[in-house]
C-alpha cells in the first residue's frame, strides 16, 4: 500500500452470530452422553503412565499414548477443591450473574483437575481441600453444564 494515498479505511461496529456444532470426538462424545443419560463421570486411564485424565481424551498428555473407549473408567463423583476465584463483577460474556465462583476441582480417581462452578457455600468459608459433590442439571443437554455446579459435601 502506498502511504501517500488514502484508501478509505473505516471502522464498523457490528456483531456476528455464528451457530455451529462442535464434534467432541469419540471420547468426548462418550463422556457427554454418560453425563447426560446416566449422571456418571468418566475419565481416561493411560495404561503406560497410570494417569487418569478428566475430562477424557484420546491421547495421553504425558507420554502421547493413544487412549480409546477401553481406557475409560468411572471417576468421582466426589472431588476436592484445589483452588478457586470469586468473580465479583458483571460482564455480558460471563456465563452467570456475578458474584459466582470458579473452582478447580480434582475428582476422586482422577489425576487432572477441571474448572467448574461452585455454589451453595458462603464465600468466606471457601477453602482449598474442601470436599465437593456435583449437582446435575434437571434438564441435561449433553455438555459440561449437565453438571450445573459443585457444592460442599459436608455442612461447613
Q: What percent of the chain has pLDDT over 70?
A: 92
Give the model's pLDDT for residue 22.
73
Give the model's pLDDT for residue 111.
96
Chain-centre distance for alpha carbon 24:
13
Average pLDDT score over residue span 70-96: 95
pLDDT at 154 over 90: no
CA distance 35 to 19: 23
Residue 17 pLDDT class (50, 70, 90 cuts): confident
Q: What percent of the chain has pLDDT over 90?
A: 76
Return the percent helix, strand and coil in the chain, to nearest 5.
15, 30, 55
Give the model's pLDDT for residue 156.
43
pLDDT at 76 over 60: yes
Q: Report the greatest alpha carbon distance in the chain.
A: 71
Give the model's pLDDT for residue 2.
58
CB 132 within 8 A of CB 106: no
**Average pLDDT for the chain:** 90
Tens of pLDDT along 45-70? 999 999 999 999 999 989 999 999 99
Amino acid at each position: 500500500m502506498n502511504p501517500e494515498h488514502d484508501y478509505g479505511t473505516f471502522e464498523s461496529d457490528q456483531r456476528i452470530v455464528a451457530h455451529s456444532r462442535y464434534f467432541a470426538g469419540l471420547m468426548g462424545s462418550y463422556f457427554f452422553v454418560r453425563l447426560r443419560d446416566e449422571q456418571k463421570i468418566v475419565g481416561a486411564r493411560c495404561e503406560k503412565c497410570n494417569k487418569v485424565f478428566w475430562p477424557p481424551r484420546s491421547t495421553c498428555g504425558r507420554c502421547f499414548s493413544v487412549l480409546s473407549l477401553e481406557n475409560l473408567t468411572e471417576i468421582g463423583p466426589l472431588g476436592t477443591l484445589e483452588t478457586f476465584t470469586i468473580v465479583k463483577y458483571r460482564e455480558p460474556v460471563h456465563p452467570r450473574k456475578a458474584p459466582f465462583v470458579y473452582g478447580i476441582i480434582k475428582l476422586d480417581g482422577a489425576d487432572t483437575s477441571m474448572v467448574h462452578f461452585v455454589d451453595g457455600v458462603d464465600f468466606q468459608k471457601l477453602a482449598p481441600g474442601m470436599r465437593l459433590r456435583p449437582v446435575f442439571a434437571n434438564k441435561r443437554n449433553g455438555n459440561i453444564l449437565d453438571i450445573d455446579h459443585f457444592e460442599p459435601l459436608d455442612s461447613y
